[in-house]
């Protein structure tokens, strides 16, 4: 009996060892990609801990991000609207998807997603893994379905190889598609602009104009466009011209609170020079036109942001201040990030 | 010994015969059919456009005439309750086998057959108007049949942006000028696997309905037919009396958001607390 027990335990240990060994070998072949948190950035979205980027997870996610077979007629990929050369935005007023169908809103830039608590203009998505399904099935975007996508790419040997490298076996599942795209997006971190190098004391300095702009920005813009992300991630009705589409509710559609009616997420201003036009449906062609609008006065609303209300529904700006703010905003451009 | 063997075989055969005949006369389970009668008060609704002369025209308590051109809602999470209180769930976690879109424009969709319901005496029917949150994720991989049915072009019961199903889609015209209205409802909750404590934002438009059966439904040799009335008069004349205006006639919209939507949801689906019936009632139970 004793001998049997001994043999059994030895076998058991041997089995568990080989299992661990296998896991380790997958990890060695597919190492985790360490996400460096830049100075002054907030902590990571808690979902990142559940879906740590790995070498092949990210490689797969990037390939899927550029996969046009995501759309019903194989013409639109994520990158069609989230163009890497424009900080993953598209330069259009509203997103244009399959069959030139025009979406409800302006394509948001994809950058520093790992640090965001809310996604989209209305913040209806809280975990990046839950986002990819939305464009896949939306009529104006890709007009497809996840089973259709899996059916199209499922026989592709390159994909099967990559899924195996990323997840341990070649099975192509919806969950793995969502996770790998999110992993790729988690690695899209922009924190090497002139602003970053100046504030990190890396030897560069603002010009006089940029310096004036930075001071003005801190006085007149930073209460919303705060933190190193240049957004405090709040939702505000700032009285911008309204989307003529009657289905536009802003964040009210998500929360059901009248206080959130026509409120939108404060957008990050990083790489703003690349992400024109501006506003939830691209109302403003240039940064200058946004500043002119704030200076002139915004639309009245019951739930207008209190800071604007206290200041007579406007942000008064002189000609010089506008030019200086724009000069400062251009220091938020990160050429190394563009075209990543 | 041989004799004993013969007796054994004989008794085994008769046992089999008895069990067979038992199955014929006393099944362990049978079907229950649900029929949905969509009405304005007591009259079944006839759908129609603004110029239709056949469409049912209803007048609300606020004295507003209105008619419907489209009327759809999702029923899921169906349970039958026995006289002793035992709940028999009907594929409550499987939308493919336990959920349906009732569509007034498609007569076949007004009947829903529950199969293999255990024999018993049933006193109550429970179901959800909408889809409970933990499976309201547009998961085509898990529930391809319901996904296909709800997403079909002529059904269109999805909110892609919220990755959830539309729970009701009620469209029509109001007032003497026949102004169009669209009342769409659905949930926007955001959290983990149906755990309410994880929900940090969103609106819950799912309503659990409990109906007492008018007479006991006997499932056995009988296949009871339960007729359920959904009285859409309650849409505007339920707990809250509503006049349709430009501000609330489209939900969600820039004018109304979700607050107006919740009032409509409470009127037709109950508030989920004291009112567990909303617009629903049992018209009859036929044990034939």
- The candidate with the shortest Cα–Cα distance to B70, out of B96, B37, B45, B95, is B45
> Taking a C-beta distance cutoff of 8 angstroms, is the pair A304, A239 a contact?
yes
Whole-Å CA distances, B22 to B26, B27, B129, B223: 6, 7, 38, 17
CB contact under 8 A, A243 and B254: yes
pLDDT number for residue B7: 61
Task: State the DSSP H helix or E strand holding residue A222, giving kind and residue range, or none if neither.
Answer: none
What is the CATH code for A194-330? 1.10.760.10
- For residue B205, give the chain A residue with the closest CA: A256
Inter-chain touch A253–B188, beta carbons under 8 Å: yes
Strand partners, A119: A125
Residues A232-276 pLDDT 10s: 999 999 999 999 998 899 999 898 888 999 999 999 999 999 999
Contacts of B28 (CB under 8 A, 6+ apart): B118, B119
Q: What's the confidence (pLDDT) of residue B10?
A: 52
What is residue A339's predicted lDDT score, i.e. its pLDDT?
A: 75
The more confidently predicted of residues A20 and B142 is: B142
Q: Which pLDDT does position B230 carry in this prediction? A: 98
The answer to whether A66 is annotated as binding is: no
pLDDT computed for residue B281 by the predictor: 98
Contact at CB, A255 and B188, closer than 8 angstroms? yes
How confident is residue A153, by pLDDT bands cut at 50, 70 and 90? very high
Of the candidates A123, A173, A261, the beta carbon closest to that of B257 is on A261
In whole angstroms, give the CA distance from residue B225 to residue B122: 12
Domain with CATH 1.10.760.10 in chain A: 46-186, 194-330
Measured CA to CA, the distance from residue B280 to residue B261 in angstroms comes to: 18
Is A17 marked as a binding-site residue? no
The better pLDDT of the pair A193, B12 is held by: A193
Class of domain A46-186: mainly alpha
Q: How far apart are CA B150 and CA B74, in angstroms?
A: 9
The residue of chain A nearest to residue B259, with distances taken between CA atoms, is A256
3-state secondary structure of B83: coil
Mean pLDDT, residues B77-91 taken together: 97
Q: What is the DSSP string of B192-215?
A: STT-GGG--B-----EEEEEEEEE
Q: Which of A62, A22, A57, A28 is nearest to A167 (CA)?
A: A57
The answer to whether residue A68 scores a pLDDT higher than 90 is yes
pLDDT at B247: 82
A81 marked ligand binding residue: yes
DSSP state of B276: S
Residue contact B257–A258, C-beta within 8 A: yes
Chain B closest-CA separation from residue A252 CA (Å): 5
Residue B147 to residue A145, Cβ atoms within 8 A: yes
Whether residue B6 is predicted with pLDDT greater than 80 in this model: the reply is no
Nearest by CB to B254, which of A139, A174, A246? A246
Instruction: Say if residue A6 carries a ligand binding annotation.
Output: no
B130: three-class secondary structure by DSSP:
coil
Those residues whose C-beta lies under 8 Å from the C-beta of residue B3, and which sit 6 or more positions away, are none
Residue B233 has pLDDT above 90, yes or no: yes
Q: Hey, is the C-beta of B89 within 8 angstroms of any chain A C-beta?
A: no
DSSP H/E element including B80 = strand B65-82
Query: Whole-prediction pTM value?
Result: 0.89
- The residues, any chain, with a CB within 8 Å of residue A92's CB and separated by 6 or more, are A81, A106, A107, A277, A282
Cis peptide bond prior to A277, omega within 30° of 0: yes
Structure confidence at residue B31 (pLDDT): 97
pLDDT average, residue stretch A80-85: 98
Say which residue, B52 or B198, is predicted with more confidence.
B52
Model confidence at A2: pLDDT above 70: no
Reported as a pLDDT band with limits 50, 70 and 90, residue A11 is: very low
Chain mean position to CA A201: 27
């Amino acid at each position: 009996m004793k001998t049997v027990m001994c043999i059994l335990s030895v076998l058991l240990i041997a089995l568990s060892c080989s299992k661990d060994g296998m896991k380790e070998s997958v990890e060695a072949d597919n190492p985790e990609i360490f996400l460096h948190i830049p100075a002054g950035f907030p902590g990571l979205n808690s979902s990142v801990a559940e879906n740590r980027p790995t070498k092949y997870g990210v490689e797969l996610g990037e390939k899927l991000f550029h996969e046009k077979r995501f759309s019903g007629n194989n013409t639109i990929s994520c990158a069609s609207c989230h163009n890497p050369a424009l900080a993953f935005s598209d330069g259009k007023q509203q997103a244009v998807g399959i069959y030139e169908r025009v979406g409800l809103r302006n394509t948001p830039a994809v950058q520093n997603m790992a640090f965001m608590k809310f996604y989209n203009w209305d913040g209806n998505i809280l975990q990046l893994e839950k986002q990819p399904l939305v464009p896949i099935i939306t009529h104006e975007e890709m007009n497809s379905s996840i089973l259709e996508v899996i059916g199209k790419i499922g026989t592709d040997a390159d994909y099967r190889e990559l899924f195996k490298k990323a997840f341990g076996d070649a099975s192509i599942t919806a969950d793995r598609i969502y996770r790998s795209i999110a992993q790729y997006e988690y690695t899209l971190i922009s924190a090497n602009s002139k602003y970053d190098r100046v504030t990190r004391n890396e030897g560069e300095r603002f010009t006089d104009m940029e310096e004036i702009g930075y001071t003005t920005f801190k006085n007149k813009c930073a209460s919303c466009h705060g933190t190193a992300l240049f957004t405090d991630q709040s939702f505000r009705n700032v009285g911008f011209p309204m989307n003529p589409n009657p289905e536009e509710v802003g964040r009210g559609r998500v929360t059901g609170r009248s206080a959130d009616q026509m409120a939108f997420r404060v957008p990050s201003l990083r790489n703003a020079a690349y992400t024109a036009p501006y506003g939830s449906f691209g109302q403003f062609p240039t940064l200058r036109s946004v500043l002119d609008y704030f200076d002139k006065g915004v639309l009245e609303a019951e739930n207008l942001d209190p800071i604007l209300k206290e200041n007579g529904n406007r942000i008064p700006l002189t000609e010089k201040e506008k030019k200086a703010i724009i000069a400062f905003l251009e220091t938020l451009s990160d050429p190394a990030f563009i075209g990543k | 010994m041989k004799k004993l063997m013969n007796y054994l075989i004989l008794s085994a055969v008769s046992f089999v015969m008895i069990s067979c005949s038992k199955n014929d006369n006393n099944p362990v389970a049978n079907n229950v059919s649900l029929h949905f009668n969509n009405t304005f008060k007591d009259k079944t609704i006839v759908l129609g456009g603004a110029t239709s002369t056949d469409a049912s025209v209803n007048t609300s308590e606020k004295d507003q005439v209105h008619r419907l051109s489209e009327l759809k809602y999702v029923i899921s999470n169906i349970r039958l309750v026995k006289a002793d209180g035992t709940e028999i769930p009907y594929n409550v976690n499987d939308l493919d086998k336990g959920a349906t879109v009732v569509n007034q424009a498609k007569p076949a969709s007004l009947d829903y057959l529950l199969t293999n319901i255990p024999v018993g005496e049933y006193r109550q029917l429970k179901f959800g108007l909408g889809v409970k949150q933990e499976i309201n994720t547009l998961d085509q991989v898990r529930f391809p049949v319901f996904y296909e049915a709800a997403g079909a072009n002529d059904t269109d019961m999805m909110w892609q942006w919220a990755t959830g199903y539309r729970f009701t889609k009620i469209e029509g015209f109001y007032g003497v000028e026949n102004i169009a209205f669209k009342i769409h409802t659905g949930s926007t909750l955001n959290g983990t696997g149906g755990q309410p404590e994880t929900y940090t934002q969103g609106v819950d438009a799912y309503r659990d309905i409990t109906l007492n059966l008018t007479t006991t439904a006997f499932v056995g040799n009988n296949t009871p037919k339960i007729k359920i009335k959904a009285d859409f008069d309650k849409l505007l004349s339920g707990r809250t009396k509503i006049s349709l205006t430009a501000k609330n006639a489209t939900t969600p919209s820039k004018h109304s958001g979700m607050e107006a939507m919740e009032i409509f949801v409470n009127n037709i689906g109950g508030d989920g607390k004291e009112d567990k019936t909303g617009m629903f009632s049992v018209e009859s139970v036929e044990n034939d």
